[in-house]
Amino acid sequence: MSVDIEELVPESPYVWRARRPGHRRRLICFPHAGAGAAAYTAWAERLPADVELVAVQLPGRQNRITEEPFTEVGPLVRVLVHALRAVLDGPVAFFGHSCGAALAYELARALRARGHRGPEQLFLSAQPAPGRTGVRQLHELPDDAFRAEIIRLGGIEAEILADEDVMGSLLTVLRADFALWERHRLTAGPPLECPVTVLAGTADPRSPVDTLSAWSACTTKDVTTRLYEGGHFYFLDQLADVVAFIGERTLAPATDGGTR
């Protein structure tokens, strides 16, 4: 459903928002490796009128290209606990794709541990459950091999692939992001108290279907798995359907409650 809204614009170093007065829920989105907040620009007009979109911007990309990316997950999560306070003041859901899903999960855990408001729902896309192994590590590959693997995964626009300077800068950020998350180990820990929806492509080498079921150990609430035809970036070809599904579930009655 298309509605009149403001554009997705920066409001602080870490927060881009498409303000929607009178919204009932807020969807906070975490970008995949190499991506910035602008990756979610097309989502805003596709979300229901009662859902406001917030996208997280991390150092090292787009308007923060001159800043050094984080090299450890702990400090990144601690910064976000404080940096996102202004958009955690009401009912929210988190969505993350790939390493963005891992970040959304770690932030939800950190907020819960600190007694802060957390997500009422958690949408995790293309991310194996904690403790699942066997996914190929990429960050230490030689440059040519790393580039080839990144291209094979998809998700990079043709004009970027054709521009060697832009592609070179992107690969630098991608390698930093892969290093950050491939060195980090997700652990189940104390379960969350919000429903979890796991999304994935049926042919994704980064999140094989058999690595997803263990997400059920990470929450005391329901876990739903939704599979789409496609690979790691399945949602790019099915964006309207994916965003509509997430928007509908974001607005579903929060009978399970949120983490506090």
Active site residues: 98, 232
Element (H, E) at 250: helix 239-250
d(CA 251, CA 248): 5
CB 14 within 8 A of CB 40: no
d(CA 244, CA 187): 30
Cα distances (angstroms) measured from residue 45 to each of 3, 5, 7, 140, 239: 6, 7, 9, 39, 12
d(CA 132, CA 186): 9
Q: Which amino acid is at 72?
A: E
Cα distances (angstroms) measured from residue 220 to each of 101, 192, 194, 207: 19, 6, 7, 23
> In this structure, what are the phi and psi dihedrals at residue 227, rounded to the nearest 5 degrees?
-105, 145
SS3 label, residue 225: strand
Q: How far apart are the first and last CA of the chain?
A: 31
